[in-house]
Amino acid sequence: MQVLYALLLSSSLAGLALWKRALTPGGTTLAWALCLLITAYGGGAAFAILAVTLLGTVAADRFAGERTDPYAVRRKSGSRDAVRVLCNVGVAGCAMLLYGITGWKGFLLAYAGVMAESLADSLASKLGPLSKSPPRDIITLKPIPAGLSGGVSLVGTLSELLGAAVVALVFSLGTGNPKALLTVTLAGFLGVTFDSVLGSRAQAKYLCTVCGMVTERETHCGEDTRLASGLRWLNNDAVNFLSNLFSLMLALLLAI
C-alpha cells in the first residue's frame, strides 16, 4: 500500500512539473524516480516537502520571468534537465535512502535540511535579481551583475530565509517535531550561504570578448568567452551539488 501510495503521489507531482514545463522530459523521469524513493521511505511529510519545493520554485520562476537573468549571465535557464534535478535533489534522495535502510531519524532531518537549501537557493536566484539595488559579491562586497553567482542582496537573503523556513515548518508539522524548525532552517540557510561563497570564489566565471561582461556562459554575444576566474569544471550545477552535501553534513552534525 505504501508503494502504491508513493507511486500515485510521485506520478502526480512529476506530471505537474512536466505540464508547467518546470522540467524537461529527462528531468521529469529522474524527478519521478527520486520522488517515488523519497515518498516510499518518508511518507506524506517527505512528499509535502518535495511538493512545496517544486511549487515554490515554479511560482517564483513565473513571477520573476526573464527579470531573473537580465544580462544573460547564467549558464542555464528554462526547464531543468536531469543534471540539474540530480544536483538539487540527488543528495536528498540519498539521505532518504539511508533513512529507509537504517531507520535513524537523523537522516530524515538531513533530508529536510538539504531540501531547505534547495528551495532557499531557488527563491534567492529567482527573486534576488528583482532587487532595486545591484547585488554585491558576498566576499568583496563589490557590485556585480544581477544573476551572477556569488551575489547577495537584501531581497535575496530574505528569500533564502523564507525558503528554508517554509521547508522547516512543513517538516516540523508533518513529523510533529517542533525542535526541528530551527535546525532545518539553519541547515538550509547556511547551506545556501556556502553556495554563495563557492559561487564567488571557486565557480567558473568567463569574460565576454565582445561586450566585456563577466558571465557563467562559455559563449556570449555569439562568441566564445575566456575563463576569467574559478575552476573550469566547477559550474553552477556542481556548486549546487556541493552545497547540498554541505547542508546534509551540517544537518547530521546538528542531529547528533
Q: Where are the domains of the chain?
A: 2-255
* pLDDT of the residue at 173: 94
How many whole angstroms separate alpha carbon 162 and alpha carbon 116?
9
Question: Which residue, chain included where needed, has cell 543534471?
Answer: 83
The answer to whether residue 1 scores a pLDDT higher than 60 is no
Residues 207-215, mean pLDDT to the nearest whole number: 84
59-96 pLDDT, tens per residue?
888 887 666 666 667 766 666 778 888 888 899 999 99
Identify the H or E element spanning 121: helix 105-127
The pTM of the full predicted model, rounded to 2 decimals, is 0.91
Cα separations in angstroms, 105 against 2, 19, 158: 19, 34, 29
What's phi and psi for 235, nearest 5 deg?
-90, -175
CA-closest candidate to residue 225, choices 238, 237, 210, 236: 210
